[in-house]
Chains A and B, each alone.
Chain A
Amino acid sequence: MKMNKTTTKLLQTIPVLILLAVPVVVTNNYVLNVLIMAGIWTLLASSLNIMIGLVGQLSMGHAAFYGIGAYISGLLSVRLGIPIWLGMPAAGLATTFLGYLIGKLTFRVRGSAFVLVTLGLGEVMRLVTNNWMSLTNGPLGLQGISPVKLFGVNFTYKHYYYFILLLVLLVSYIIWRIKNSRFGRAFIAMNENEPLANAVAIHSERFLVLAFMISTCIAGIAGSFYAHYVTFISPDLFLLSNTVTIVVMVIVGGKGTVLGPIVGAIIFTLLPEWLRAIDNYRMLIYGLILMFSILFMKRGIVPSFARIIKKKRGALHEYS
């Protein structure tokens, strides 16, 4: 039933060691930049996975929380000179609070309220940041956000890579812990069968709000990182297409699993880069790959492969 403990440990450590070694081998800044972006998308996909994969609620405004985190951190930096070390916690706290408010309001009634409100939030935020010239500089975007600096060291690509890797590992660890706790079980129970979850004393509203708060917190932190990494942000962050990209990453990678969104985020960040070479056919190939994976790997890449491996051992388990 259980894998050999040392085998499991090895399977967990080897990828981490490889990831740690990347900047030693790779010195090309373009490649590092792509990997850093993959890291940001991984944070977003992992956080949205809490909603789509665990509690089973579709948040269509995930880019909104990403953008809000970026703008809070960016504005604090540009207007008040506050560094990322304070800006990032501020962004995380603010998006958590916003998640709490929206969750409290929308989860009271079930159905489409949550999808619609989150969908609307992104659009509202895009309009606000576009038109509030005096604060956000409107469509011209916010420039001159301070790059990350620690102990007098100005971050280079290598540093940013380690920073985002640390965040990704931390977030993955947190999600993995939650998933295997009474909280994660309550999340999954609501997704599977809400009346039965209620019957065993799981308060739907309470846990939906909690899940959303964790999810929006991570998205806000990802936004803060982006703002200080790119040092320029614009209202385009709030575009629906960003949310759709995150949703695709979660679904294709494998919702409900810890690894799925990571795989999805990496594939859908690297793929457009590789396909740059064939230029005009890029979107065509992208679409075909998307269709193929949805048709032939309904549960997503990670669960599909896990299924093949586990079938040999007889035991099947979703959400692993």
Chain B
Amino acid sequence: MSILKVEGVVQRFGGLVAVNNVGFNVGQNEIVSIIGPNGAGKTTLFNVIAGTYKPSEGSIIFKGKEIAGLPAATIAKQGLVRTFQITSLFSNVSVLESLKIAQHRTLESNLFNVLINAPSVRAEEQVAEKRAYEILALLKLENKANHLSDSLPYGEQRLLEIGIALAAKPDMLLLDEPAAGLNETETIELMGLIALLRDEGITILLVEHDMNLVMSISDRILVLANGTKIAEGLPSEIQTNPDVIEAYLGGDIMDFSE
């Protein structure tokens, strides 16, 4: 059963067509990667799915409901949570507090109960704190709980980003280049973490340039070039697909940045 169904999505910016008639499905508990040369429209597609942009055309069905064009926060509320390509944290907030902020989706105490510090609020706060520590343990950042997010080394900041997304208890995670800037050891740890998330029942859609990571953890891969989907299939199929090789190594526009 598919959790996310993207159909005929077009995103235009003035005369530029950044995403052109792209459609695909992501099944429950799958890990699907989107790859493609720079400028292929991967991040734009992500932004459309996550609600940053309203698509010019097409439909996006998440858990059976149309989400195309909804505000980002509404989409997140439904369980589709994203991370950002460029490190994005609550900089001046402690690591622990960040993970509490991110649990907003699952907390529901009302303002009145907060003001009188009702038992239900205290119980909810305890659960939030406990869950924050669980995530810290998962990320192996327990000893950094009270550090400012900004003060963490880069690798840990990227881990915290995933932790923040995770704290929102998503059904599906959109990870935008999670391995960007990580060294080899850190990338391997990240792969372990992603696999672990999948085991917990989270569906994952990934944009990534690190081919080792993509090929080893993806169930399926989607290839974009110039805003169009040019291939879709198992990692082994993608590796030998002539269109994909053409897109990466030859064709109209040469791009050696990979």
B window 198-238: CB within 8 A of A: none
Residues A193 and B146 in contact, CB atoms below 8 Å apart: no
Q: A305 an interface residue at 8 Å Cβ cutoff? A: no
**Which one, A1, A177, A186, A195, contacts B104 given CB within 8 A?**
A186
Smallest distance from the beta carbon of B88 to chain A beta carbons, Å? 5
On chain A, the residues within 8 Å of B102 by CB distance are 200
**Which one, A182, A193, A316, contacts B88 given CB within 8 A?**
A193
Residues B146 and A195 in contact, CB atoms below 8 Å apart: no
Residue of A nearest to B114 (CB): A181
Residues B148 and A202 in contact, CB atoms below 8 Å apart: no
Residue of B nearest to A184 (CB): B114
Residues A201 and B73 in contact, CB atoms below 8 Å apart: yes
Residues B146 and A315 in contact, CB atoms below 8 Å apart: yes
Q: A135 an interface residue at 8 Å Cβ cutoff? A: no
**Which one, B77, B94, B125, B128, contacts A201 given CB within 8 A?**
B77
Known: A181-B114, A199-B165. A317 touches B94 (CB 8 A): yes
Residues A186 and B101 in contact, CB atoms below 8 Å apart: yes
Residue of A nearest to B110 (CB): A183
**Which one, B71, B104, B109, contacts A200 given CB within 8 A?**
B104
**Which one, B93, B107, B114, contacts A177 given CB within 8 A?**
B114
Known: A183-B114, A200-B102. A195 touches B93 (CB 8 A): no
Residues A202 and B73 in contact, CB atoms below 8 Å apart: yes
Q: B25 an interface residue at 8 Å Cβ cutoff? A: no
Q: A189 an interface residue at 8 Å Cβ cutoff? A: yes
Residues B105 and A200 in contact, CB atoms below 8 Å apart: yes
The 0/1 profile, CB within 8 Å of B marked 1, for residues 176-203 of chain A is 0110011101101100110111111111
Residues B90 and A316 in contact, CB atoms below 8 Å apart: no
Residues A200 and B101 in contact, CB atoms below 8 Å apart: yes
Known: A177-B117, A185-B97, A316-B148. A200 touches B76 (CB 8 A): yes
Residues A198 and B71 in contact, CB atoms below 8 Å apart: yes
Residue of B nearest to A214 (CB): B111
Which of A174, A186, A201 has the most chain B CB atoms closer than 10 A to its own CB? A201
On chain B, the residues within 8 Å of A181 by CB distance are 109, 114, 121, 125
Residues B104 and A201 in contact, CB atoms below 8 Å apart: yes
Q: A204 an interface residue at 8 Å Cβ cutoff? A: yes
Residues A174 and B115 in contact, CB atoms below 8 Å apart: yes
Residues A185 and B101 in contact, CB atoms below 8 Å apart: yes
Measured CA separation A114–B115 after assembly (Å): 27
Q: A85 an interface residue at 8 Å Cβ cutoff? A: no
On chain A, the residues within 8 Å of B103 by CB distance are 182, 200
Residues B104 and A318 in contact, CB atoms below 8 Å apart: no
Q: A132 an interface residue at 8 Å Cβ cutoff? A: no
The 0/1 profile, CB within 8 Å of B marked 1, for residues 303-320 of chain A is 000000000001111110
Q: How large is the interface on A (under 10, 10 to 19, 20 to 34, 35 or more residues)?
A: 20 to 34
On chain A, the residues within 8 Å of B114 by CB distance are 177-178, 181-183
**Which one, A1, A177, A183, A201, contacts B76 given CB within 8 A?**
A201
Residue of B nearest to A173 (CB): B115
Q: B54 an interface residue at 8 Å Cβ cutoff? A: no
On chain A, the residues within 8 Å of B72 by CB distance are 195, 198-199
Q: B67 an interface residue at 8 Å Cβ cutoff? A: no
Q: B92 an interface residue at 8 Å Cβ cutoff? A: yes
The 0/1 profile, CB within 8 Å of B marked 1, for residues 134-149 of chain A is 0000000000000000
Which of A1, A177, A199 has the most chain B CB atoms closer than 10 A to its own CB? A199
Smallest distance from the beta carbon of A180 to chain B beta carbons, Å? 8
The 0/1 profile, CB within 8 Å of B marked 1, for residues 1-35 of chain A is 10000000000000000000000000000000000
On chain A, the residues within 8 Å of B92 by CB distance are 192, 318-319
Smallest distance from the beta carbon of A65 to chain B beta carbons, Å? 19
B window 46-66: CB within 8 A of A: 50-52
On chain A, the residues within 8 Å of B91 by CB distance are 192-193
Residues B148 and A200 in contact, CB atoms below 8 Å apart: no
Return the 6 tightest CB-CB contacts between A and B, nearest first: A201-B76, A201-B105, A198-B72, A192-B90, A315-B146, A201-B77
Which residues of A pack against B, CB within 8 Å?
1, 174, 177-178, 181-183, 185-186, 188-189, 192-193, 195-204, 210, 314-319
Extra 13 A-B pairs, beta carbons < 8 Å, given A195-B52, A199-B168:
A177-B117, A181-B121, A183-B111, A183-B114, A198-B73, A200-B102, A201-B77, A201-B81, A202-B73, A203-B74, A204-B73, A316-B146, A316-B151
Instruction: Offer 26 A-B interface pairs, CB within 8 angstroms, sorted by A.
Output: A177-B115, A181-B121, A185-B104, A188-B90, A188-B101, A189-B101, A193-B90, A195-B52, A196-B84, A196-B90, A196-B164, A198-B76, A199-B73, A200-B103, A200-B165, A200-B167, A201-B168, A202-B104, A210-B111, A316-B146, A316-B148, A316-B151, A317-B93, A317-B94, A318-B93, A319-B93
